[in-house]
Amino acid sequence: MKILIADDEEVARKSLELILSKESAFKLDFAADGQEAMDKIKADLYDLVLLDLNMPKLDGYEVLKQVRSLYPALPVIFITATGEVKKIMQCIAQDKLTAFIEKPFTAQNVLEDVKRALNIK
């Protein structure tokens, strides 16, 4: 399963890499901003996108909008430290977003949400 981790914070990318690399089934790729994430999504096939909400060039909402127009069924999980829970919940209710993970996150929360999004038990 190929996962794109898109976050402008290197610490967050490394933390997610440490958590997810323990699962041998996951192949990880990384993007440091929204535009890089979209470029990679257009160039390759992913099973899941972990997407920071606040990134340079394109924010998470814009990336999500573009992803939905290209790949309506691609699971996307927002990663956010902001208090935008209401807006995020609207995205989930509209079937645009699979889930969200709040920073600071735990390894258990990340693994549970990723496995749920990928239908892995």
Tens digit of each residue's pLDDT (9 = 90 or more) over 59-102:
988 999 999 999 999 999 988 876 666 777 777 766 678 888 88
Name the more confident of 111 and 85.
111
Asked whether residue 28 carries a pLDDT value surpassing 70, the answer given is: yes
- Give the residue extent of every domain in the chain: 2-114
For 21, 74, 94, 99, 100, the CA distances from 26, given in Å and listed in that order, are 7, 16, 28, 18, 19
Sheet with 76-80, side-by-side order of all strands? 27-31, 2-6, 48-52, 76-80, 99-102
Which residues lie across from 79 on neighbouring strands?
Answer: 52, 101
Q: pLDDT tier at 56 (50, 70, 90 boundaries)? A: very high
- pTM value is 0.91
Mean pLDDT of 46-59: 93
For 2, 68, 115, the CA distances from 73, given in Å and listed in that order, are 15, 8, 16
Domain 2-114, CATH class in plain words? alpha beta
Letter for the amino acid at 77? I
